[in-house]
Amino acid sequence: MSSLRLEDLKQYSDTLQTRQGERLNVRFVEPRDTEELQHYFRSLSNRSRYSRFFGAISELPKGLLHDFLEVGERDRFTVVATKMVDGFETIVAEARYALHAETSTLEFGLSVDDRWQGHGIATALMKNLECRAAALGAEHMFGDTLRSNETMISLARKSGFAFVNHPDDWKLVRFDKEISVAPKDIPCASWRLAALSRQADSPSASV
Ligand SMILES: CC(C)(COP(=O)(O)OP(=O)(O)OC[C@H]1O[C@@H](n2cnc3c(N)ncnc32)[C@H](O)[C@@H]1OP(=O)(O)O)[C@@H](O)C(=O)NCCC(=O)NCCS
């Protein structure tokens, strides 16, 4: 089980690069992001929102918005990838993940702003999530997508996921991957901090 300390969320920021080499900051969402997060979801195309939530919504319903902002609650986390645009920190992608400790799995879903799709952001974000999953002690990570979502299916295939039927919903397909992260290969602040705090908990543990 993880011993991440969430008091100061900023310490868990990571930097990702788009395929063109632009740098994005990836960090846990904070209460100050409420408006910007809703703006991000409202600005997604109908199709992207439908693909992300498997239903027609125009913004995050109140309960879901509340859940998105509760980082660490019931082992669920939300991260945003941001970029400075005209002096404002703008959300260009988001991901939500949940650790299922009983099965050592990490479930996730994500989206990228339509204007930023095709820049390799989801590819980089999924690598980052893999690193976070390893930091939390997960052995597999998985997500669900609509069978019609060719983009996500192609992305998952390229990222090394295998496909299985969804247990309850024939419209969905589940993609699953065994986690094999070498921490030195993927810079990820949350991994390093988790590893350090584990060392502190158990000085003889090698990480
Ligand atoms: C699926 C999604 C997250 C991909 O994000 P992205 O940042 O555009 O993905 P990347 O740029 O990393 O692309 C990775 C791969 O996806 C595939 N892909 C990207 N755009 C595609 C398109 N328009 N059609 C088919 N495949 C596509 C390609 O295989 C691509 O690899 P390549 O560029 O080497 O060919 C994004 O399209 C999105 O937010 N969609 C709406 C929400 C959603 O579907 N979420 C998934 C379910 S939780």
Which pLDDT does position 72 carry in this prediction? 85
Q: Which residue has the higher pLDDT, 71 or 118?
A: 118
Residue to probe by mutation, ligand 1, list 52, 107, 115, 117, most atoms within 8 Å of CB: 117
Residue type, 143: G
Q: Which residues contact 115 (CB under 8 A, 6 or more apart)?
A: none
Helix, strand, coil tally for the chain in percent (to 5):
35, 30, 35
Residue type, 26: V
Asked if CATH classification 3.30.70.890 holds for the domain at 9-198, the reply, yes or no, is no
Smallest CA separation from ligand 1 atom 26, residue:
151
Average pLDDT over residues 62-69: 96
Distance of CA 29 from the midpoint of ligand 1 (Å): 22
On the question of pLDDT at 3 being above 90, the answer is no
* Helical (H) or strand (E) element with 62: helix 62-69
**Whole-model pTM?**
0.90
Distance of CA 96 from the midpoint of ligand 1 (Å): 17
Which pLDDT does position 1 carry in this prediction? 43
Domain-wise residue ranges, the chain: 9-198
Which pLDDT does position 207 carry in this prediction? 32
The 10s digit of each residue's pLDDT in 25-50 is: 999 999 999 999 999 999 999 999 99
Of all atoms in ligand 1, which is nearest to the CA of residue 150? 25
On the question of pLDDT at 89 being above 50, the answer is yes
